[in-house]
Amino acid sequence: MRRMNAVQAFAMFTIATIAALSIVGVTVANEYHSNPWLLSWIPAYCCVTNDCCWEVAERDLSSLPDDKWQVIATGQVRERTNWSPDGKFYRCACDYDSAAGVWNRHVGANTRCLFVPMRSAALKMKTG
């Protein structure tokens, strides 16, 4: 049986540590997230891990040409990030409070991502 050298042992230790930390990170995020299911399909760049994504009503958004949407509360125009898997609308919006060191989710926050149901796109094509 071949013995591992120090470099191979260190590489295996590093991989095992990263895997363990990943599992712990997902577990902790699921325990403290208001809607852990969102973590399974919304990308991290949308700030989902900071609990910045939530379901919004269709009336909170206005559809525009070229798959763009206006957030009524802020006037921001964003392209659809992706389709929502459950037929609901989702908005990811937070502002960072550097003094407190926390992300604040609120209606007037900067919108990072929008997820809309496919049915909205189909309706838009029929009426637009």
Q: How confident is the model at residue 67 (pLDDT cuts 50, 70, 90)?
A: very high
Q: Using alpha carbons only, how large is the chain's radius of gyration in Å? A: 20
Q: What pLDDT is recorded for position 64? A: 96
Name the domain count of the chain: 2
Do the Cβ atoms of 125 and 92 come closer than 8 Å?
Answer: no
What SS3 class is residue 35? coil
Residues 58 and 92 placed together within one structural domain of the fold: yes
Do 114 and 120 contact (CB within 8 A), yes or no? no
* 17 lies in the same domain as 67: no
Could you tell me if 107 and 123 lie in one domain?
A: yes
Residues 60 and 6 in one domain: no
- Residue written as tokens 């919304």? 42
> Domain containing 5: what range?
1-32
pLDDT exceeds 90 at position 79 = yes
Confidence band, pLDDT 50/70/90 cuts, at residue 74:
very high
pTM passes above 0.75 = no
Q: Do residue 90 and residue 120 come from a single domain?
A: yes
| Residue 127 predicted with pLDDT over 60 | no
Claim to verify: residue 15 and residue 67 sit in the same structural domain: no
